[in-house]
């Protein structure tokens, strides 16, 4: 209930804290709507505190949160929180902190010194914490309201005024007045700060104030915002479009509300299409939102957008400090930034009057959030597109099967760019069968063809990219003769080599065995330890090509902020070979690169994931596409143990359309997306029997709801059956359209909220990226 004192100014989008339950515990909430009547039967308490004077979320985002909660089976509050910069969320956080070693190592704290105090902590845990608290062993720490500190500054702001005409009327004697007005005639600055006026133009505050009195400008206090990209801005002029690009731009800007899938081969100039489309909408007075997979991996894209649109651009990414991120968000919210570039969560950027939403590399898995709320940025973008009646443009050289299938069904409009910008052919790809080919030695990862490729490239003073596909795998043992990789008997995962203990270990279930001396499959003695991957390959390269300048890019070399950018610049300016993991496979555009080598194409295929082929195809096609993008023909060599696998064959031919047909066949037969939707429901509990019982009961409730051809699999233990002392069971549902199923799932999630006190956790992942 809104207190009388606040009824006049409270509005939807404002956060409040409300006493809850019998204890009157204060919780933070959002006003999502206001109503004259109370529809709740019980006792309604009054709002205790109003935390914002003005809405932190606009009506669009409030409405979106409702849909998002429905879609992702998450609570609406967590959807609302997700839309805010973290600094604004943090004040609601309560931590239980301890310094006691024994408690730190307890099952509750699990080695940490703090624990978040939330409503869904199991009762036992809460009781335990309370008893420790009585002994002063733990205490509660409120993550205090922590708004970014703003520096405010006085500014003079332009009005809708003909300043050139005004200048004519000012007496020549009023020199300073003339000078001031002239600044606004000569530039198109919206505002200029009092400080700048004094420092740069020697115009006093009095002069500025006098101009305000005359009604020429308005004066106000503006939040001074840090601009994280200000230092890297460089100008990029629009390019003369190729016929294909021109055609694409035309179709995009004249499209009606239907989303567009832009399927353009690697190096076909999709970026320039995006930029010119954005320019078009800016000219219309509208704004643009552009999503990229991970900002740190795509510095070139950010530079292009900032270079073209300068101060109008806001960049949102995880590399920003909380304060910087908050500042960028404010610039968007206040309408100062008209173009937003960012990763997944930027899809919630509070832009008004959207003209276009672009998702680059739309097939990337990182657009799906793995944690609550488990949303896919593409779906959110499509929702916002409908809300704003604006176009949504999905771009990729290797579209996701889901998107390509929608284009097939005319749900999306399909546009293609078939040619590279400079009419260069796609690179020629050679597949090396690792079972047949002798490596340079038993201990080396590189075959003769890769070495030769590198040598010729260096001789021609061109550049090379080498990919070591690690796909989340740690160091594993591999048989040089047959390609066998020891797997954990309990999990679908390769065992990890622990050299010191001379053992193979499973990182998920703890299974361990002694390091075998001969291959269990073919009895060859050529078992080889894959070492630390990139580092090892780097050493090999140094030995084989002593004069080459090698730039290594992996998790180890990119921990520091800005490291990606730095390494890429080094490679561009003085490097010969860029060696790295998946992070070098995306979007990079270096005209000097003519050779690409893939050291191990297979590791992605070894997983049981139904998207394994798709992921492998995408990765190989993308990385191959880094070669020969400008004026010289590119060469690619792929080393593989599965030379006949269609995902590798078709990636070598860079034939997306054929891959699409082939893979759709498989998905159809196996009843996977895009033919069926998937729901993964997982239940966990400290006691295995409890977890199973709950999962079993849920499955029993759901099974009768299934329609023809729909399936419910499980409950089964996932590959990672026990995590942090909790046992997991999962249910997978393949369905097509089933309203009732959805309703029941929502009801189950609500019931579980009650059961969380009994120690159950239930999560629903709608359209999961992986089934494990």
Q: How far is CA 296 from CA 300, 399, 569, 587, in A?
A: 9, 22, 13, 12
**Residue 261 or 332 having the CB closest to ligand ATP:** 261
Question: Which run of H or of E encompasses 352?
Answer: none
Which of Zn ion, ligand ATP, none does residue 267 bind (CB under 5 to 8 Å by kind)?
ligand ATP
| Binding flag, residue 245, ligand ATP (CB under 6 A) | yes
Tell me how far CA of residue 98 lies from CA of 112, 114, 117, 379, in angstroms: 9, 6, 13, 41
Q: Are 193 and 131 in contact (CB under 8 A)?
A: no
Site for ligand ATP in 414-433 (CB under 6 A): 421
Applying CB under 6 A, the site for ligand ATP has a residue count of 19
Binds ligand ATP (CB under 6 A): choice among 242, 400, 403, 582: 242
Out of 85, 269, 342, 628, name the contact with ligand ATP by CB under 6 A. Answer: 269
Q: Using omega within 30 degrees of 0 as the cis cutoff, is the peptide bond preceding 690 cis?
A: no
Residue 177 vs 639, nearer CB to Zn ion: 639
Within 386-415, the residues that bind ligand ATP by CB under 6 A are: 397
How many CB atoms sit inside 10 A of residue 212's CB? 15
- Distance (Å, whole) CA 457 – CA 599: 17
The nearer residue to ligand ATP, 298 or 558, going by C-beta atoms, is 298
Burial of 295 (0-12, 13-18, 19+ CB in 10 A): buried
CB 309 within 8 A of CB 227: no
Question: Quick one: 360 or 538, whose CB is closer to ligand ATP?
Answer: 360
Question: Is 519 annotated as a binding-site member?
Answer: yes
User: Which of the listed partners (ligand ATP, Zn ion, none) does 491 bind, with a CB threshold of 5 to 8 Å by partner kind?
Assistant: Zn ion
b/e code 679-696 from CB counts within 10 Å (16+ = b): bbbbbbbbebebbbbbbe
* Least distance from ligand ATP to the Cβ atom of residue 290, Å: 13
> Residue 510: how many CB atoms within 10 A of its CB?
10
Using rule CB under 6 A, residue 264 touches ligand ATP = yes
Does 239 bind ligand ATP (CB under 6 A)? Our answer is yes
Please state, in angstroms and rounded to a whole number, the distance separating the CA atoms of residues 417 and 408: 16
Any alpha helices (H) in 485-602, and if so which ranges?
534-544, 563-574
Q: From the list ligand ATP, Zn ion, none, pick the one residue 589 interacts with, judged by a Cβ distance below 5 to 8 Å according to partner type.
A: ligand ATP
According to CB under 6 A, which one of 26, 95, 223, 241 is a site residue for ligand ATP? 241
Q: Is 243 in the site for ligand ATP (CB under 6 A)?
A: no
Residue 79 annotated as lining a ligand binding site? no
- The CB-of-52 to ligand ATP minimum distance in angstroms stands at 41
Among residues 264 and 486, whose Cβ is nearest to ligand ATP? Answer: 264
Q: Using CB under 6 A, which of the segments 211-219, 261-269, 645-653, 667-675 binds ligand ATP?
A: 261-269
Whether the bond into 715 is cis, omega within 30 of 0: yes
| Tokens read off for 12 | 């939807």
Q: Which does 65 bind (CB under 5 to 8 A by kind): ligand ATP, Zn ion, none?
A: none
**Site track 587-616 with ligand ATP (rule: CB under 6 A), x = hit:** x-x---------------------------
Q: Closest CB to Zn ion among 493 and 577?
A: 493
| Nearest to 620, CA basis, from 490, 498, 474, 471 | 471
CA separation (Å) from 403 to 83, 261, 362, 363, 410? 25, 7, 9, 8, 11
Residue 621 near ligand ATP by CB under 6 A: no
Residue 347 binds which entry of ligand ATP, Zn ion, none, with Cβ cut-offs from 5 to 8 Å by kind? none
- 693 vs 201: CA distance, rounded Å: 76
Write out the residues near Zn ion by the rule CB under 5 A. 479, 481-482, 484, 488, 490-491, 506, 508-509, 511, 519, 521-522, 524
Instruction: Closer to ligand ATP by CB, 239 or 709: give it.
Output: 239
CA 761 to chain centroid, in Å, comes to 25
Nearer to Zn ion, 395 or 721 (CB): 721
Structure tokens at 408: 């097939």
Interface with ligand ATP, residue 379, by CB under 6 A: no
Structure tokens at 168: 């004519």
How is residue 20 annotated by DSSP? E
Instruction: For tokens 């006093």, name the residue.
Output: 204
Shortest Cβ 509–Zn ion spacing (Å)? 3
Binding residues for ligand ATP (CB under 6 A):
239-242, 245, 264, 266-272, 397, 421, 587, 589, 625, 629
- Binding-site residue set: 479, 482, 488, 491, 506, 509, 519, 522
């Amino acid at each position: 209930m809104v207190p009388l004192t606040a009824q006049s100014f409270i509005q939807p989008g404002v956060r409040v804290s409300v006493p809850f339950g019998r204890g009157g515990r204060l919780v933070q909430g959002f006003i999502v709507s206001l109503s004259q009547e109370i529809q709740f039967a019980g006792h309604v308490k009054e709002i205790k505190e109003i935390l914002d004077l003005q809405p932190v979320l606009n009506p669009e985002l409030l409405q979106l949160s409702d849909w998002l909660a429905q879609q992702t089976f998450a609570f609406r509050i967590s959807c609302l929180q997700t839309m805010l910069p973290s600094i604004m969320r943090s004040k609601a956080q309560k931590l239980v902190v301890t310094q006691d070693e024994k408690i730190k190592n307890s099952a509750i704290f699990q080695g940490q010194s703090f624990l978040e105090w939330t409503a869904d902590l199991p009762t036992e845990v809460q009781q335990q914490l309370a008893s420790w608290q009585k002994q002063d062993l733990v205490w509660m720490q409120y993550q205090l309201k922590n708004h970014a500190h703003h520096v405010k500054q006085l500014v003079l702001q332009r009005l809708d005024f003909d300043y050139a005409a005004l200048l004519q009327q000012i007496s020549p004697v009023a020199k300073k007045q003339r000078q001031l007005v002239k600044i606004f005639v000569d530039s198109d600055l919206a505002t200029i700060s009092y400080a700048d006026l004094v420092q740069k133009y020697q115009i006093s505050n009095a002069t500025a104030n006098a101009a305000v009195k005359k009604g020429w400008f308005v004066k106000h206090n503006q939040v001074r915002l840090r601009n994280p990209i200000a230092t890297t801005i460089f100008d990029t002029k629009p390019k003369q479009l190729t016929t294909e690009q021109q055609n694409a731009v035309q179709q995009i800007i004249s499209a009606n509300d239907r989303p567009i899938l832009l399927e353009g081969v690697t190096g076909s100039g999709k970026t320039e299409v995006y930029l010119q489309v954005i320019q078009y909408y800016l000219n219309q007075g509208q704004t643009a939102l552009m999503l990229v997979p991970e900002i740190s991996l795509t510095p070139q894209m950010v530079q292009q957008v900032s270079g073209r649109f300068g101060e109008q651009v806001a960049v949102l990414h995880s590399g920003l400090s909380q304060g910087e991120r908050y500042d960028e968000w404010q610039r968007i919210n206040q309408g100062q930034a008209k173009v937003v570039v960012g990763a997944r969560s930027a899809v919630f950027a509070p832009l008004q009057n959207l003209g276009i939403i672009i998702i680059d590399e739309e097939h990337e898995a990182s657009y799906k959030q793995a944690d609550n709320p488990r949303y896919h940025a593409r779906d959110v973008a499509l929702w916002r597109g409908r809300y704003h009646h604006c176009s949504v443009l999905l771009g990729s050289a290797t579209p996701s099967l889901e998107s390509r299938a929608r284009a097939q069904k005319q749900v999306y409009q399909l546009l293609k760019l078939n040619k590279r910008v400079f009419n260069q052919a796609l690179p020629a790809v050679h597949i090396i069968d690792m079972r047949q080919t002798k490596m340079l030695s038993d201990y080396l990862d590189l075959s003769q063809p890769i070495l030769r490729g590198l040598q010729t490239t260096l001789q021609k003073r061109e550049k090379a990219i080498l990919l070591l596909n690690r796909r989340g795998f740690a160091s594993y043992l591999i048989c040089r003769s047959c390609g066998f990789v020891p797997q954990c008997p309990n999990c679908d995962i390769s065992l990890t080599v622990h050299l010191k203990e001379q053992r193979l270990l499973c990182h998920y279930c703890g299974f361990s065995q002694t390091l075998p001396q001969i291959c269990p499959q073919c009895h060859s003695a050529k078992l080889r330890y894959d070492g630390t991957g990139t580092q090892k390959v780097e050493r090999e390269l140094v030995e084989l090509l002593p004069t080459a300048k090698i730039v290594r890019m992996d998790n180890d070399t990119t921990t520091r902020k800005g490291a990606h950018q730095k390494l890429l610049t080094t490679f561009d300016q003085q490097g010969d070979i860029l060696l790295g993991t998946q992070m070098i496979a995306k979007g990079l555009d270096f005209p000097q690169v003519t050779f690409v080598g893939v050291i191990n194409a297979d590791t992605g295929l070894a997983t049981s994931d139904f998207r394994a082929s798709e992921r492998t195809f995408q990765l190989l096609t993308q990385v191959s596409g880094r070669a020969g993008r400008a004026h010289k023909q590119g060469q690619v060599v792929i080393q593989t143990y599965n030379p006949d696998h269609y995902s590798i064959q078709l990636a070598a031919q860079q034939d997306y359309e054929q891959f699409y047909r082939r893979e759709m066949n498989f998905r159809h037969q196996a009843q996977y997306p895009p033919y069926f939707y998937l729901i993964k429901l997982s239940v966990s509990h400290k006691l295995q029997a409890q977890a199973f019982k709950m999962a079993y009961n849920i499955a029993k409730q759901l099974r009768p709801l299934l329609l023809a051809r729909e399936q419910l699999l499980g409950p089964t233990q996932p590959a990672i059956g026990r995590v942090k002392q909790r046992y997991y069971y999962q249910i997978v549902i393949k369905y097509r359209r089933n309203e009732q199923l959805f309703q029941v799932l929502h009801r189950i999630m609500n019931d579980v909220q009650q059961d969380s006190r009994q120690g159950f956790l239930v999560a629903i992942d709608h359209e999961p990226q992986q089934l494990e």
